[in-house]
Amino acid sequence: MTDELTEILKSGERVRLFSILSESSREKRVISALLASLVTIPDLSRQLLATVGLRIGPRSQVDAYTEVVFRTEKKYVRDRPDGLLVIRTGRQTWSALIEAKIGSADLDSDQIKRYAELARENAVDAIVTITNQFVARANHHPVRVGKALANRVKLFHWSWTFIQTQAYLLDLERQISDANHAYLLHEFVRFLSHPSTGVVRFRAMNREWRDLVRTVQIGGVLGRTSEVVENTIGSWHQETRDLCLLMSRVVGRPVRLKLQKSHRDNPTERIRDDCQRLAEHKVLSCVIEIPDAASGFALVADLQRRTITCSAELRAPEDKARPAARVNWLLRQLEKTTDQDVIVKAKWPGRAPATQDTLANLRADPKRLCGANAKMAPRAFEVLMVRDLAGKFTGSRTFVESVEDALPSFYEQVGQHLKQWRPAPPKLLPVMAEDEPHGSDGAHPAPAPAESAVAAG
């Protein structure tokens, strides 16, 4: 340990890339491998620590310790953090307690509160928790904490799948110049991919899911503040985050949830608003953003109809006047689409209602989409893929499996082929004719004398 750390720690082991812990200490072996990778692979530490607001430069030093024992630890004897992460940049030092769980183990709110007190007493800046629970952003947390706790110490969370995905994308880019670092990163990705590590994806909705869907089916009322609704929204938020990580690995680029600013800054407000939407409209929804895609991809699970709908919206090409020409512009983009569940919806100016038809019918007759709006041109198109799950919708596992099949399929069949229309750049105007008179005598007006400008000033 360094001299600085001996002031707050009784003991601590530097993390080992090759753990000497017993096979029964699976959790500690995994956290040791992670922390050792952060110490030895600068690109990985830069990528992960950026999510908690840290900038890791070439002069930054990353150190990590396991089996840490604090000098003030007597009253926290049952709470020993899994690790301590220390970042030094010049004269500034940032540190965080690391608490990790693997498998199905979840965080305990009382333990987190005790860690917050331990961190405050030892001038540790933050707590980073790592489990198989999913959150939309690192500054959101799966454990409900009050403002008092948030004021004591900063609280961050990573899921193991998030770490795995970030490492995978970094490895996929192959832009790490140091061969040793690149090799270690690749091996770290392989390590996390092995089932024995306990790293698992989100696999099932909450235990109340089946009863909640049945309540909706018989016309029952959902209370927006009920525990069942809140637990369902909590599960949905985890699923949508896991879906982003799944899509990131599918397309090889970072995929994110589209959140309004108030929801990014305040996860509690996001939960409250989504609970109200579920209670009132009986739907779960999100928007997924894929880099360079023509549109965000909306995903809606309708509990009344037991359907999953994926959709994308495009602005209609304004350089085409005829309605059929605009429809054909879209159909050409969907030439490779073979899915029979794809529907195209046209949105019209003013109060004219939207019209829709199947892609198969429109290929045979594009004018079917216009209906009674033959004299107008559509302003936008929405392409949808609707999956009727029937009985599979009520299964907590089959629902998640269906969601994770629907969006990749929609992207493959539709999303990757779509392109937004954009106006053509303006062309150069003709050169102004020089023989046009510019003044009463046909000459360019002379500029005012310089002294006049001075006098005016």
Radius of gyration of the CA atoms of the chain, in A: 29
Read off the pLDDT of residues 114-146 as tens digits, 9 standing for 90 and up: 898 889 888 999 999 999 999 988 989 888 777
pLDDT score recorded for residue 13: 55
Q: What is the pTM of this model?
A: 0.81
Residues 6+ apart with CB under 8 A from 133: 106, 107, 142, 157, 159, 238
pLDDT of 374 above 90? no
pLDDT score recorded for residue 78: 64
Q: Phi-psi category of 419—alpha, beta or left, where left has phi over 0 and alpha has psi -120 to 50? A: beta
Read off the pLDDT of residues 18-37 as tens digits, 9 standing for 90 and up: 654 545 577 888 999 999 99
CA–CA separation, 271 and 52 (whole Å): 21
The region of weakest confidence among 47-56, 128-137, 177-186, 370-379 is: 370-379
Q: What is the mean pLDDT of residues 386-398?
A: 96
pLDDT of 159 above 90? yes
Share of the chain above pLDDT 90, in %: 64
Q: Phi-psi category of 41—alpha, beta or left, where left has phi over 0 and alpha has psi -120 to 50? A: beta
Read off the pLDDT of residues 170-188 as tens digits, 9 standing for 90 and up: 999 888 889 999 999 999 9
Read off the pLDDT of residues 235-277 as tens digits, 9 standing for 90 and up: 999 999 999 999 999 999 999 999 999 999 898 899 999 999 9
Lookup: tokens for 305:
């109809």
Read off the pLDDT of residues 65-91 as tens digits, 9 standing for 90 and up: 988 888 766 555 566 889 999 999 988
Q: What is the mean pLDDT of residues 424-434?
A: 78
What size, in residues, is the chain? 457
Write down the domain spans for the chain.
3-197, 209-417
Lookup: tokens for 384:
């949808």
Give the β-pairing of 126-131 and 154-159.
parallel
Give the β-pairing of 342-347 and 380-388.
antiparallel
CA–CA separation, 265 and 248 (whole Å): 23
